[in-house]
Amino acid sequence: MTTTRTAPADPAGDLAAAQREADEAARLAAALEERVRDGDDSVTAGEVDEAHKLSRFARLRREAAERKAAAARADMVATARREHAAQIKTAVASGALDVAPVAAAYARMRAAVDEFVTAANTYNRAWAATRDAIDGPPYRDEDGPLMDEFGVRMVTTVTGHPQIEAGGVRRYRLRTAEHIARAAVEAADGISPRYGPELRPVLGGAARHASSYQPDLTGHDHTDGEAGR
């Protein structure tokens, strides 16, 4: 048994062939007309009419090929976009865009921020109490040696930031929000250079202030008495 195979569709090739046929038919009709103009009595009206009919039919076939090529192109575009959409759906459903891990990380971040804010607030309350103690020594209204003579005083940096100094150790009052901003910007810079610049317009000022005028908490090993100077 012989199997008849159909040639694969080639809309672009069919269009090119139809265009060649239409061009050839138009040239033949034009050539017959030119022979008549030159006085060739051997060309009959029927031949000219037949040539024009063939030319018109070839143009129709070319238009049909154009429509088929356009339809094939539209099908190709639709198929490609359908497959592309399926890939996107697969990516979304695969877990890469699952918000649950982000939400869990956010919860951990909030817990860490809460812990930091609580610790910073405890520190700042102690700082304020120490400042008040320096400003209000015993027998404040009576003459006597100043607290400065005992190595305890309040100092102000050239940038206008107050510090407690006691026994040669200085302590700032922490600006909690600035440290949180610094941590966010530095984390973004460290993980991906793309996101650091996105955060800087929002948090950059506070982060820079923390870096320049606040103690470097990243370098505090919990034993250095000078940390926070």
Of the two residues 188 and 164, the one the predictor is more confident about is 164
pLDDT over 80 at 171, yes or no: yes
- Percent of the chain exceeding pLDDT 90 equals 21
Residue spans of the domains in the chain: they are 11-93, 102-219
> What is the average pLDDT across 64-85?
90
> Average pLDDT, whole number, for the chain?
80
Rounded to whole angstroms, the Cα distance separating 37 from 49 reads 15
* 128 Rama sector, left if φ>0, alpha if ψ -120 to 50, beta otherwise: alpha
Q: Where are the alpha helices (DSSP H) in 94-138?
A: 99-135
pTM as predicted:
0.54
Q: How confident is the model at residue 36 (pLDDT cuts 50, 70, 90)?
A: confident
